[in-house]
A and B are shown apart, each in its own frame.
Chain A
Amino acid sequence: MDNDNHSGQETHVWKVSFVRRLVNSAATVGMACAAILVVTPLVVIFGYLVYRGIGALNWSFLTQIPKPVGEPGGGMANGIVGSALILLIASAIGIPLGIGSGVFLAEYGRNRYGDVVRFTADVLNGVPSIVIGSTVWGLLVVTQKHFSLFSGAVALGIMMVPTVTRSTEEILLMVPQSVREAAIGLGISQWRVTVSVVLRTATAGILTGIMLAFARVAGETAPLMFTAFGNQFWSVSPNQPAAALPLQIFYYATSAFEELNRQAWAGALVLIVLIVGTIGIVRLVASRGLMKGAA
């Protein structure tokens, strides 16, 4: 009887630990499956981009403007140039504003005003891009009475600001206080300390933030729909409606013509190469340890 009881207890103990081990293995397998399921779409999307994009990509795609609908051939050269111009002007607006407010937050913003700005930057980061687009439409397009490349650049520039601001602040806070104190100890004025010592030390990190903001807005379509609007012809004037790569991909993808669908894939491939290239440079800079020089 004593023996019986003892063996029963042993089975019981073994059973519980078996269940626990089973749950443990199931959870491990489940997490691994989640990881595989998350990476699968990435692989599939890139696979399709290369497979469908390479087939449609050729020299005339990169050098010609769109042909009238129905005619074969033509390309997105105007979209590529338009996107480049829009991004250039957007960077000229967004980067200085972002760095400036990042400097404010890191060097003068350890107080209530800083918290307000920090919160608004996060709010701006969360505002849907279509809302920014329609606001800029109301502010610029309505007053100018026509769509323009410049208004598209303003919309994208606004979207760059919060990303650059917060990354600049983060990087500047990583610059050790002793560096600032050493510079002040040499009798340099406060602003020179910030510009020539603190910002200089953090250059690589700030560049990383800029590149990430750039990659984020490079593929934006929604804010350009009512601002840059799109254009079938060559136009490099900031005051005229302009073609942009993401816009053209959108219109071509939703078109009923197979030739245009094909070109949408080619455009998507060009766009993703641009974006992944930017991120690749960021990773390279970060892994070279240049960023760690700021720490």
Chain B
Amino acid sequence: MEALPKITFAPPKAPVAKADSVHAVPRPMVRLAPVIPPAGRFADPIFKGLVLACAASVFAIVVLILIELVSQSRLSLRAFGFSFFVRNIWDPVSGDFGAFPFIYGTLVSSLLALIIAVPLAAGVALFTTEMCPRPLRSTLSFLVELLAAIPSVIYGLWGIFVLAPLLRAYVEPWLARNFGWTGLFEGAPYGLGMLAAGIILAIMIVPIIASITREVVTAVPRQQREAVLALGATRWETLRIGVLRNARTGIMGGIILGLGRALGETIAVTMVIGNSPQISKSLFAPGYTLASVIANEFTEATGNLYLSALMEIGLALFIITLIVNGLAQLLVWSVTRGMPARAIG
């Protein structure tokens, strides 16, 4: 009995009826809707075009780098073909070039760096996110970030004057005495060499791996931890089962990102690796990397073929880092966007 009069007493009816008959009210309403402020009609497309040009230039820069590298290394590409990358010879005097010693040096120094850096970076990242007392947390992550801010040339300086003498006097003789039988630690302990390069690179890539690990671990939902904890797991077991198992794809991405950085690192490595294109099983021996041969010999390169060979090394470096970084991005995205984490669990 109350509902009935309320339905019939609908207030909108009156205005609608009015709008149909009176022009003054609906006219401006019809006009207002499609009006664009006059300034925006021309300025909007111009502004959009401007920022689009900026974005396109980012794309253009990358394409330009690729074109420039290919065109500059044309001479060497034609002279040596694919065998450039597998030939173990670097003879500027007779104009015979092969990049194998540099590829070897780059791979060995980067892998050595990963072996040292991964446990440390994972450890420090887990410590800051899961175990560290709260007040210490931001300080510790700031310190690790600061490690990333130190320029390459300062790492190199420190490597030459502090790390290398330390290795020569204490660490390398000790390694030779105790692990000499492996063949990895023999010969004269110079200090400067593959081992020093590996250690410096490790220090440089720890912040990258640690920050990605921290990001990925924080992205693991809290329920995962709580569920494992509720089953009576210790803190470490919670971490291992509830967190690491979910985050491992992302951590892998961080590791590969660190690898990408190590592969392309130039100055610090050039300063400590010894710069000699030789392949030796011993980590005490000097080596050479793709990046450091460019840094060292580019301005001294006599002859177009020599220069072109160095440019081809640059091209190889570009393509390698492109693949490595692309892979790393995919892995990190897949976790932080929460896509295949389920499939792994």
Asked if A135 and B69 sit within 8 Å, CB to CB, the answer is yes
CB distance from A133 to the nearest CB of B (A): 8
Please give me the residue from chain A that is nearest to B299 by CB atom.
Answer: A226
Contacts beyond the supplied A188-B37, A190-B47, A250-B156: 15 A-B pairs with Cβ under 8 Å: A32-B127, A35-B140, A41-B203, A124-B58, A126-B325, A131-B317, A131-B321, A132-B65, A134-B69, A138-B68, A190-B44, A191-B40, A219-B153, A222-B291, A250-B267
Contact mask for chain B residues 28-39; partner A; CB cutoff 8 A; 1 contact, 0 none: 000000001101
- A104 x B54 contact (CB < 8 A): yes
For the complex, give the distance between the alpha carbons of A125 and B260 in Å: 11
Contact partner of B59 (CB less than 8 A), chosen from A116, A139, A254, A271, is A116
Q: Are A123 and B51 in contact (CB under 8 A)?
A: no
The answer on a CB contact under 8 Å between B237 and A100 is no
Question: Does B89 lie at the interface of the complex (its beta carbon under 8 Å from any beta carbon of A)?
Answer: no
Contact between B47 and A34 (Cβ–Cβ < 8 Å)? Answer: no
Q: Which residues of B contact A226 (CB under 8 A)?
A: 298-299
Residues of B within 8 A of A (CB): 36-37, 39-40, 43-44, 46-48, 50-59, 61-62, 64-65, 68-69, 71-72, 119-124, 126-128, 131-132, 140, 142-144, 146-147, 149-158, 160-162, 203, 206, 210, 234-237, 239, 257, 260-261, 263-267, 271, 291, 294-295, 298-299, 310-311, 314, 317-318, 321-322, 324-326, 329
Q: Which residues of A contact B61 (CB under 8 A)?
A: 124, 158, 161
Within 8 A of B (CB), among A77-93: none
Q: How far is the CA of A126 from the CA of B119 in the complex (A)?
A: 23
Residue of B whose beta carbon sits closest to that of A264: B157
User: Can you name 6 A-B pairs with beta carbons within 8 Å?
Assistant: A33-B123, A100-B51, A109-B55, A123-B325, A128-B291, A131-B321
Contact of B152 among A131, A221, A254 (CB under 8 A): A221
A69 at the binding interface (Cβ < 8 Å):
no
Asked if A131 meets B40 with Cβ closer than 8 Å, knowing A24-B234, A276-B149, the reply is no
A249 at the interface (CB under 8 A from B): yes
B71 — which chain A residues lie within 8 A by C-beta?
Answer: 138
Contact A279-B146, Cβ < 8 Å, known A117-B59, A218-B151: yes
Interface bracket on A: 35 or more
| Contact indicator B147/A41 (Cβ below 8 Å) | yes
Answer whether residue A150 sits at the interface, using C-beta atoms and an 8 A cutoff: no
Closest partner residue, chain A, to B267 (CB atom)? A221
Q: Is the CB of A271 within 8 A of B151?
A: yes
Could you tell me the distance between the alpha carbons of A123 and B327 in the complex, rounded to whole angstroms?
A: 11
- Complex Cα–Cα for A165 and B44 (A): 21
CB distance from B325 to the nearest CB of A (A): 4
Closest to A28 in B: B131
Restricting to A203-239, which residues have a CB under 8 Å from any CB of B?
A: 215-216, 218-222, 225-226, 229
Query: Is A192 a contact of B40 with CB atoms below 8 Å?
Result: yes
Q: Once the chains bind, are A123 and B322 in contact (CB under 8 Å)?
A: yes
A92 to B160, CA, bound (A): 35
Q: Which residues of A contact B40 (CB under 8 A)?
A: 188-192
Given known pairs A38-B147, A279-B146, the reply for A31 and B123 (CB within 8 Å) is yes
How many angstroms between the C-alpha atoms of A23 and B241 in the bound complex?
A: 14
A181 to B292, CA, bound (A): 53
B25 to chain A, nearest CB (A): 20
**B325 proximity list for chain A (CB < 8 A):** 122-123, 125-126
Q: Is the CB of A268 within 8 A of B44?
A: no
Q: Is the CB of B264 within 8 A of A124?
A: no
Q: Which of A23, A42, A128, A219 gathers most chain B CB within 10 Å?
A: A128
CB distance from A182 to the nearest CB of B (A): 16
Cβ contact of A265, chosen from B43, B121, B157, B234, cutoff 8 A = B157
Q: Does A253 contact B (CB under 8 A)?
A: yes
Residue A108, interface by CB 8 Å: yes
Q: Is A27 in contact with chain B by the CB < 8 A criterion?
A: yes
